[in-house]
Structure 1
Amino acid sequence: MSIRTRFAPSPTGYLHVGGARTALFSWLYARKHGGKFILRIEDTDLERSSQESVNAILEGMTWLGLEYDEGPFYQTHRFDRYKEVIQQLLDQGDAYYCYCSREELDALREQQMADKEKPRYNGKCRDSADQPERERVVRFRNPDHGDVVIEDLVKGRIVVANKELDDLIIARSDGTPTYNLTVVVDDMDMGVTHVIRGDDHVNNTPRQINILKALGATLPVYAHVPMILGSDGARLSKRHGAVSVMQYRNDGYLPEALLNYLVRLGWSHGDQELFSIDEMIALFELEKVNVSASTFNTDKLIWLNHQYIMNSDPAHVARHLAWHMGERGIDPVTGPALIDIVKLQRERCKTLVQMADESLYFYRDFDSYDDKAVKKNFKPGVEDVLQAVWSGFDALADWSAEPLHQVVLDTAEKLQLNLGRVAQPLRVAVCGGAVSPAIDATLALLGREKTLDRIARAIKFIEDHEN
């Protein structure tokens, strides 16, 4: 059997991390078994669906690198097919028209709740004569007897009695199909063999299985993945911070780090924490996904991201850093190559946002110095130290880290100062603040012209503020 999985988001918002994890699990399962991964856009909610949300989903999938083999398929393009299947179920006697009004259904529900019964449609219209002139919906005629048995790859065996299921609506009064009908037809027509989705769909699955059986379709294998919780134990939502996949890009995470984090949310392989994409594909097993919900830990994600920044190919990190620099109005051609920035900053910076923000001085002159750094390091007399350093740098024929470092050492020795009394004022002068990578490597990347100009500017700043 050729494995076929699918990811089927509704375009009513961004691609959130829960959906991204479901997509990842589906993608990994297909890749592991040499199968196909399908992207389907379930856009039948015409009021809430938007092209903007479709674009956000596609952008998120692309950024994560979850390439789909088929699609994207849009349910709104398949209304004729759904209409055909609804008519087939009517003709078979597996569906019927229901004429009950909203008021009747509300009254039925209230009575059942008062009688401490499970609210469900009572089948009143099952045997009614067709009345095409009246407003009507189409309901699926659910079997009255027997059980639906789901051999769930994550949750194990689930048994639901058919008597617990009511006759769900499969077409609204305006003729548009409902979710439980469209998803069944799509999974059947697209040959989906494995349905991997959130466990909020567990209650839909027995109903969908019964429709599939009525259509004579081969049943897919189901795997319902537990939800993701915030640190407070509540379902992950906006109030817990970034939930949109693209917000994680904006916050400076590498896509591989987010994928690595998501695959470990509910799945593990021994004590291993870091997984390459190839390792994820080789090792991932749906049967090893935890049954219980997972808690999102931002600190752990930041740690993982730092590991990827430090250990990934610097050229790859630089490509992602370029987006953040562009967001800050920086053209990298005005300064050092971004790959060199990555090599210089990767040990210190845990996110690409931090790396971009702390590298702006390589490309753009700053308007002011950090006040705290000025008070501590630009004290009277330090202009003489900076002038000595400037003279030593100006005389250099080789502008690289080693000779630059030697100038700093020689200046400290000549003026009988400890190294910090030279390096720190120099750092503030050229970077604007008291924090940077090693000063010699920083100056080597910054270049002769910017370094000398900024030292001269700092000297003037100190002299002006002494008077």
Structure 2
Amino acid sequence: MTVRTRFAPSPTGYLHVGGARTALFSYLFARKHGGQFVLRIEDTDLERSTAESVNAILEAMTWLGLEYDEGPFFQTHRFERYNAIIETLLEKGLAYRCDCSKERLETLREQQMAQRLKPRYDGHCRGQAIDPDRPHVIRFKNPVDGVVVVDDLIRGRIVFANAELDDLVIRRSDGAPTYNLSVVVDDADMGITHVIRGDDHINNTPRQINILRALGYEPPRYAHVPMILGDDGARMSKRHGAVSVIAYRDQGYLPEALLNYLVRLGWSHGDQEIFSLEDMIAAFEISDVNRAASSFNTDKLDWLNQHYLQHADPARIARLLSPHMGRLGIDPAAGPDLSSVVQAQAARAKTLTELAEISAFFYRDFETFDEAAAKKHLRPVARDGLERLRAAFELMAYEDWTLAGLKHVVEGVAEELGCALGKVAQPLRVAIVGRAASPGIDETLLLVGKEATLRRIDRALAFIAARAERD
């Protein structure tokens, strides 16, 4: 048997992290077992499905690098097939027409709720001759006896009594087939062997199994993945921050970091924390997925992202960083090599967005000095050192503006003043960067360049002079 899994999102919005984790688990299972991974767009909800959502899903899958072997298939392209199956079920007496009004169904529901019964259709139209020209729906004739047993690959054995399942609608009154019918036909036609999906689908599973068996198909194996909770323990939602995969991209996360984080939400492999996609494929076992819901921890995602920022190819990170610099109004071509900036700064940032923000000073003068840093380091006592540094920098030839040359100048001024290196380097750093933190002072000066260095020292000296007058 060739393993075939599928990811089947509904295009009614963006691809959220819960869906991305389901897609990842399905992808890993297929790759682990030498199978195929299918992408299917379940767009039977004609009112809510949009082309923009389809594009957002495809964009997110591409960014994550979850390559599918077949698809995307669209359910709206297969209505003829679904209707043929529905007609077959009608001919075999396995489905029937129902013209119960909304008012009757609502009254039935209210009565059942009042009696503390589970709301379900009572089979009123079973065996009745309903005029096909009247508005009606088609219902599947669910077995009334026996049980449906689901040997879930994550949750274990789950037993559903058929008496608890009602005759669900498989075609609406407008002629559109419903989700539970179309997904069954698709899984059968596409040869899906393993369905890995969110646990919000558990109640659909016995109904879908009954339809599959009525059609003479062997059901696939099922694995229901627990939901993802927010940091506060509530179900993940927009109020917890970015839940859209593309939003995480736009906030400066790397796809490998997000995938690494998602695979560890409810699954583990010993104490290993860092997983490449190849590591995941080799180690992943669906049976090891935890049954309990997992809580999303943004701090952990930040830690992983910072790890990948530091260890990835600087040229690649520079390419990904470039649009984030552009959003700040910075043209990276008008300053130091962006790969060199990445090498200098990557350890200091958790995201590409943060990396862009803390690196802006390499390309343009900052607006104001950090108040605390300026108060501590830009004092009259620092004036002599800054003036000496400026004079030495101005005399340097451009070919001498190197790490070694700059280090020699800074250390020389400290030696002339008979003070520790920090007494010279920290005021210089605040003058050049605007704050008290940056890469090594030599590397910072090298990347900022001679003209900007002289200009910013002049600004710092003016700040010190103005401060002396106030004091």
Task: Give the shorter-chain TM-score range.
Answer: over 0.9
Q: Compute the displacement of 1:381 (Å).
A: 5.4
Mean alpha-carbon deviation: is it higher for 261-270 or for 103-112? 103-112
Mean alpha-carbon deviation: is it higher for 448-457 or for 274-283? 448-457
CA distance in 1, matches of 2:466, 2:287: 71
Native 8 Å contact 2:4 2:193 kept in 1: yes
Q: Compute the displacement of 1:422 (Å).
A: 1.5
Q: Compute the displacement of 1:126 (Å).
A: 0.9
**Cα deviations across residues 65-121 of structure 1 (Å, max 9, x unaligned)?**
111111111222222222221111111111110011111111112222233322211
Write out aligned runs for 1:78-93 (5 A): 78-93=78-93
CA distance in 2, matches of 1:449, 1:438: 19
Indicate whether 1:320 and 2:320 are aligned: yes
Equivalent in the alignment of 1:380: 380
CA distance in 1, matches of 2:217, 2:316: 45
Count of residue pairs brought into register by the alignment: 467
Mean alpha-carbon deviation: is it higher for 314-323 or for 215-224? 314-323
CA distance in 2, matches of 1:134, 1:164: 29
Write out aligned runs for 1:39-54 (5 A): 39-54=39-54
Indicate whether 1:170 and 2:175 are aligned: no
Write out aligned runs for 1:102-251 (5 A): 102-251=102-251
1:409 counterpart (408, 411, 418): 411
CA distance in 2, matches of 1:393, 1:310: 31
Please state whether the residue corresponding to 1:159 is helix, strand or coil: strand
CA distance in 2, matches of 1:326, 1:34: 42
Pairwise CA RMSD: 1.7
CA distance in 2, matches of 1:270, 1:368: 49
Q: Compute the displacement of 1:204 (Å).
A: 0.1
Equivalent in the alignment of 2:4: 4
Structure 2 gaps of 5+ residues are none
TM-score, length basis structure 2: 0.95
Please state whether the residue corresponding to 2:160 is helix, strand or coil: strand
Please state whether the residue corresponding to 2:124 is helix, strand or coil: coil
Equivalent in the alignment of 2:95: 95
Mean alpha-carbon deviation: is it higher for 361-370 or for 35-44? 361-370
Q: Compute the displacement of 1:464 (Å).
A: 5.6
Equivalent in the alignment of 2:437: 435
CA distance in 1, matches of 2:290, 2:263: 11
**Cα deviations across residues 397-428 of structure 1 (Å, max 9, x unaligned)?**
42222221221111112123332232122112
Q: State, as a whole percentage, how many aligned pairs show the same letter.
A: 65
Q: Compute the displacement of 1:250 (Å).
A: 2.4
CA distance in 1, matches of 2:322, 2:149: 52
TM-score, length basis structure 1: 0.96
CA distance in 2, matches of 1:234, 1:371: 39
Q: 1:448 to 1:257 in 2, by over 3 A?
A: same
Equivalent in the alignment of 2:349: 349
Task: For 1:369, give the aligned amino acid.
Answer: F
Structure 1 gaps of 5+ residues are none
Please state whether the residue corresponding to 1:142 is helix, strand or coil: coil
Write out aligned runs for 1:25-36 (5 A): 25-36=25-36
Q: Compute the displacement of 1:373 (Å).
A: 2.7
Task: For 1:162, give the aligned amino acid.
Answer: N
Please state whether the residue corresponding to 1:458 is helix, strand or coil: helix
Equivalent in the alignment of 1:24: 24
Equivalent in the alignment of 2:455: 453
Native 8 Å contact 2:378 2:463 kept in 1: no
Q: Compute the displacement of 1:461 (Å).
A: 4.5
Q: 1:46 to 1:408 in 2, by over 3 A?
A: same
Native 8 Å contact 2:97 2:132 kept in 1: no
Task: For 2:430, give the aligned amino acid.
Answer: V
